[in-house]
């Protein structure tokens, strides 16, 4: 999730930011909708920066829930949040699988590599 998590959160931030003018038109010019989505966009961008840290999955998951909860103010955003939550869960599951496969391959490669100096190779004798 070192690359996919931040990229997904940044994409979500762009979608939420682009929803601000739509929410203003649909909500009759409500400043509350604009402020909610603006703050949420900033949180998603900051979360994308923090997503590479050890608790990145938890931060991203909390942000997914915040996007869904923003549906209280702008109902259309709840649908966006549910879609991104599904993508987030899929990314977390497949990233975990990829990390396990990578660890197994590294362990297998380390098991095959012989430590330097432990191999004793004798030069063939040439008797003539």
Predicted model pTM: 0.78
Annotated domain spans of the chain: 4-110
Q: Give the angle subtended at the CA of 45 by the CAs of 43 and 47, to the nearest 5°.
A: 65
Low-confidence ranges of the chain (pLDDT < 70): 27-29, 114-128
SS3 91: helix
Return the pLDDT at 29: 59
Tokens of 10: 């940044």
Return the pLDDT at 122: 56
Return the pLDDT at 114: 58
Return the pLDDT at 117: 55
Return the pLDDT at 116: 60
Between the alpha carbon of residue 31 and those of residues 37, 71, 109, the distances in Å are 10, 15, 58
Residue with tokens 């959160």: 9
10/12 Cα distance (integer angstroms): 5
């Amino acid at each position: 999730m070192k690359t996919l998590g931040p990229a997904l959160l940044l994409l979500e931030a762009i979608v939420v930011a682009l929803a601000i003018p739509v929410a203003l038109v649909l909500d009759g010019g409500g400043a509350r909708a604009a402020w909610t989505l603006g703050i949420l966009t900033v949180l998603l961008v900051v979360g994308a920066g923090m997503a590479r840290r050890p608790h990145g999955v938890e931060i991203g998951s909390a942000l997914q829930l915040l996007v869904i909860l923003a549906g209280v103010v702008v109902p259309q955003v709840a649908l966006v949040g549910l879609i991104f939550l599904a993508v987030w869960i899929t990314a977390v599951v497949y990233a975990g699988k990829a990390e396990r496969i990578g660890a197994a391959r590294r362990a297998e490669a380390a098991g095959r590599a012989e430590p330097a100096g432990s191999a004793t190779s004798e030069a063939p004798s040439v008797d003539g």
